Structure 1
């Protein structure tokens, strides 16, 4: 049975960088059992109703600006799988989760940057999923929980976002390897409660975790909430492992959690 994953997609530049984090994701893709498909919740696709992609072949979306021109030349022509999209829709219907089908939207960089590092040949079918940051963490967790049966069918479920993602606090021109203490304190608190599967505390992270308002600002919680979707998938087993944690630009976290 495959785990579910929470993967930080960082800044778009990791798509063309060779560093500790990109090397880790390359290795992770080679060491995980090859999935039949990937169902991926991306922070860069927000919707008030859960959306499920049903697409034959995805376009590549460049939903960012001002970066190296090389980024805009990258293509990730992943294919969909309508049979697995139907399985997702069936599970939502059976569990009372409202959803809508998306037949046109391409892969945003929250999806293709991660997928390209894991599976550079775009050979794994993808079902892209939206997130709703206005839902409560309990509701986000529940959506992930409804998909747990897919793990037994060799389908990998990923939440793509970031635990510490405050664009206003980034030091893009001072990437000296130093990490802000407030980011470490928040991620340390998070790691303790994730490893203990303390969902009561996690669901109230915004009032309990140190520096929560700075690590997950109100305008940036869409990057944090994919964590709850990914955790919910493994609700029946409840084992969490921190596979990687590093930082860029002073506080942008590159965390990878495995739930199994």
Structure 2
């Protein structure tokens, strides 16, 4: 069964960077069976109702400003998979989750920056999925769980976001790690590895420095979505964790 993954997408410029984290992403395909398709939840696509992309071929959305000119020339012209989009809608309906299709929207940088590092040839069909910050954490987990059977079909499910993501706290010149960010991530790691969903669903009240690490939850949600797809086996493995700008967490979790 294909594992699911959570990838932090960091700053948009991550696609141009050369470090230990981007090396992991660039080498990912060499150590993972090629999936039939990719299903990706992006923190940068927020909708009040679960939305499923149904594009034929994706345009590239440049939903950022002030970065290198090269980023605005990049494209990721992946194709969609309408049959898979319909199947996802059916799975959501089966689990009591309302959803709608979107045939127009392209891929935002939370999707294409990660995918360009993982599969630069854009030769695997992609179905992008929105996130809804107003669901409870348990509901987020259940959204992921509803798609778990896709893993048996060699479909790769990805949550793209960030566990510590507070743009107001970034120190662009820092080469160290802020203690509060590391403390929060250490707590999250312990609860993920123990599959302690009760604590994770209540991380805002229980985790140290939760308000600093997750001032708004849209980037944290993809972690719970990806985790939910692994509910049957409940095995979480941290593949990488590092930081940029003092506290911007770059982590990769595998859920078996």
Match of 1:63 in 2: 63
The equivalences for 1:236-247 within 5 A come to: 236-247=232-243
Contact kept, 8 Å, 1:242 with 1:256, in 2: the verdict is yes
Match of 1:191 in 2: 189
Match of 1:16 in 2: 16
Q: Where does structure 1 lack aligned partners over 5 or more consecutive residues?
A: none
Q: Where does structure 2 lack aligned partners over 5 or more consecutive residues?
A: none
The equivalences for 1:143-162 within 5 A come to: 143-162=143-162
Match of 1:82 in 2: 82
**TM-aligned CA deviation for residue 153 of structure 1:** 0.1
Number of aligned residues: 256
> How far, CA to CA, are the matches of 1:196 and 1:79 in structure 2?
37
Greater than 3 Å deviation, 4+ residue runs: none
The equivalences for 1:1-260 within 5 A come to: 1-172=1-172, 174-176=173-175, 178-217=176-215, 220-260=216-256
TM-score normalised per structure 2:
0.99
**TM-aligned CA deviation for residue 29 of structure 1:** 2.4
**TM-aligned CA deviation for residue 130 of structure 1:** 0.2
> How far, CA to CA, are the matches of 2:230 and 2:164 in structure 1?
22
> How far, CA to CA, are the matches of 1:140 and 1:252 in structure 2?
23
> How far, CA to CA, are the matches of 2:137 and 2:29 in structure 1?
28
> How far, CA to CA, are the matches of 1:29 and 1:224 in structure 2?
25
TM-score normalised per structure 1:
0.97
**TM-aligned CA deviation for residue 171 of structure 1:** 1.1
Contact kept, 8 Å, 1:30 with 1:118, in 2: the verdict is no
Contact kept, 8 Å, 1:29 with 1:117, in 2: the verdict is no
Contact kept, 8 Å, 1:14 with 1:113, in 2: the verdict is yes
